[in-house]
C-alpha cells in the first residue's frame, strides 16, 4: 500500500490535497471511510487529544484498524494537535500513521526543541510528523489561541531545517471553529507565497479550513438549533490554496460537526416519536458522508487519487 509520504509528494506535483477529517464517534468514522471508498480517495482520519480521551484509546485503535482494513481506499490515522511529547509518543506507540506536535504556543526555540524531540522518536518508527509555526486563532476544546500570529516565512525555513519535520501547519488567517470571520473571509496568500519561496515543494497544512455551510446551519436553526453569526472560509479561497499553493493537507472538523448536528436535528424533528438513536445518528452519518464526498470532489481534488 502507498504510504502517507507518497501522497504528500504527489500533492506537490498535482493540484490536490489530502483531507484530514476529525472524528469522535463511530458514525463519523464510518462516514469518512465510506466517502473515501465511494470516491476512491485517500483520506486522513484525525483524532484530537480530547477526542482520543472521549472515545478511549482501545476504541479508537480497534475501530480505526477495522475500518482501515475493510475500506477499499487508503486511510491514515493521525493525531491532531498533540500538545506534548508524551501524547505524541503514545500515539506513535499505539500505531498511528502520523502525529502532529503543536507546540506553536511556545517560544520559537522551545517549539523547535519539542518538535525535534517528537521527530527523532517518531521517525525512528517510520511515523510522519506535522509541526506548527505561528498561531491559528479560535477555540475547539483543547485547541485555543486568542489571536492570529501569522507564520514568519524565514522562521518557517529555519524551523523545518532544525526539526526535520515532514509537514508544517501555517497560520495565514484561518481559524478553528464556526465563527471565523465577522465579514468576508480572507487569507494571507502573500504570506503563503513567501513561505513557499523559502520552502520550495515542502508540504504545508491548512488548519481551520471549514467553510461552515449556510445551508446546513439553516437546517440546524430550523430544527431547534441556535447558531448565530457562524462564518467559515469560503470554499473558493480554500480551493485557491490547494490549486495554486503547496497546501498538501486541509483539516476539516467543524463542517462535519455541523453536518452531523443538522442530520440529527432534522431527523428528530421529522419523527418526534422516535427514540432509537440508530435512526437519527444514521441520518447524521449520511449528512457527514455527503460533506466529505463534496470536499473530496470539489475542494481537495483527491477523487480517484487512491
Ligand atoms: O483543531 C482542533 C480540532 O477540531 C479538534 O477539536 O479538541 O474539540 O476535538 P477538539
Ligand atoms: P475547522 O474548525 O475549521 O474544521 O478546523 C479543524 C482543524 O483544524 C482540526 O485540526
Ligand atoms: Zn487544527
Let me know if residue 38 belongs to a domain: yes
pLDDT of residue 269: 98
Active site members = 80
**Ligand 1 centre and the CA of 46: distance in Å?**
9
Let me know if residue 179 belongs to a domain: yes
pLDDT of residue 137: 77
Q: What is the model's pTM? A: 0.96
**Ligand 2 centre and the CA of 207: distance in Å?**
5
pLDDT of residue 244: 94
Pick from 10, 30, 12: nearest CA to 21: 30
Q: 210: Cβ below 6 Å to ligand 2?
A: yes
Let me know if residue 46 belongs to a domain: yes
Residuewise pLDDT in 10s, the chain (306 residues): 789 999 999 999 889 999 999 999 999 999 999 999 999 999 999 999 999 999 999 999 999 999 999 999 999 999 999 999 999 999 999 999 999 999 999 999 999 999 999 999 999 999 999 999 999 876 544 555 667 799 999 999 999 999 999 999 999 999 999 999 988 889 999 999 999 999 999 999 999 999 999 999 999 999 999 999 999 999 999 999 999 999 999 999 999 999 999 999 999 999 999 999 999 999 999 999 999 999 999 999 999 999
Let me know if residue 305 belongs to a domain: no
> Which residue segment(s) compose the domain that 176 sits in?
4-300
CATH number of the CATH domain containing 117: 3.20.20.70
The residues with which 169 forms a beta bridge, in sequence order, are 132, 205
Alpha helix positions (H), the chain: 4-13, 26-39, 49-55, 57-70, 85-94, 108-124, 153-163, 189-198, 214-222, 235-244, 254-270, 277-294
Residues with beta carbon inside 6 Å of ligand 1? Answer: 22, 48, 50-51, 80-81, 140-143, 176, 207, 253
Let me know if residue 306 belongs to a domain: no
Number of domains in the chain: 1
pLDDT of residue 141: 46
CB 21 within 8 A of CB 281: no
Judged by DSSP in three states, 256 sits in: helix
Neighbours of 229 (CB within 10 A): 9
Measure the CA–CA gap between 142 and 158, rounded to whole angstroms.
27
First to last CA, the chain: 10
Amino acid at each position: 500500500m502507498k504510504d502517507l509520504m507518497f501522497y504528500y509528494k504527489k500533492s506537490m506535483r498535482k493540484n490536490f490535497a489530502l483531507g484530514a477529517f476529525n472524528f469522535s464517534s463511530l458514525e463519523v468514522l464510518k462516514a469518512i471511510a465510506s466517502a473515501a471508498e465511494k470516491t476512491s480517495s485517500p483520506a486522513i482520519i484525525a483524532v484530537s487529544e480530547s477526542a482520543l480521551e472521549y472515545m478511549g484509546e482501545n476504541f479508537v485503535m480497534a475501530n480505526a484498524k477495522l475500518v482501515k482494513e475493510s475500506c477499499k481506499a487508503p486511510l491514515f490515522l493521525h493525531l491532531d494537535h498533540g500538545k506534548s511529547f508524551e501524547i505524541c509518543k503514545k500515539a506513535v506507540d499505539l500505531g498511528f500513521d502520523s502525529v502532529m506536535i503543536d507546540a506553536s504556543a511556545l517560544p520559537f526555540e522551545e517549539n523547535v526543541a519539542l518538535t525535534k524531540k517528537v521527530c527523532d522518536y517518531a521517525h525512528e518508527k517510520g511515523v510522519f510528523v506535522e509541526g506548527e509555526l505561528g498561531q491559528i486563532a479560535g477555540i475547539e476544546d483543547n485547541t485555543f489561541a486568542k489571536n492570529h500570529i501569522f507564520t514568519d516565512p524565514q522562521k518557517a525555513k529555519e524551523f523545518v531545517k532544525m526539526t526535520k519535520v515532514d509537514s508544517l501547519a501555517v497560520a495565514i488567517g484561518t481559524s478553528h471553529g464556526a465563527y471565523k470571520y465577522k465579514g468576508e473571509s480572507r487569507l494571507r496568500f502573500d504570506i503563503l507565497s513567501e513561505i513557499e519561496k523559502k520552502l520550495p515543494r515542502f508540504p504545508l497544512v491548512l488548519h481551520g479550513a471549514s467553510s461552515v455551510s449556510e445551508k446546513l446551519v439553516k437546517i440546524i436553526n430550523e430544527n431547534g438549533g441556535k447558531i448565530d453569526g457562524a462564518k467559515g472560509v469560503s470554499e473558493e479561497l480554500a480551493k485557491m490554496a490547494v490549486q495554486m499553493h503547496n497546501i498538501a493537507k486541509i483539516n476539516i472538523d467543524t463542517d462535519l460537526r455541523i453536518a452531523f448536528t443538522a442530520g440529527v436535528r432534522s431527523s428528530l424533528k421529522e419523527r418526534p416519536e422516535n427514540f432509537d438513536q440508530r435512526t437519527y445518528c444514521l441520518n447524521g452519518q449520511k449528512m457527514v458522508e455527503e460533506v466529505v464526498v463534496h470536499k473530496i470532489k470539489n475542494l481537495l481534488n483527491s477523487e480517484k487519487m487512491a
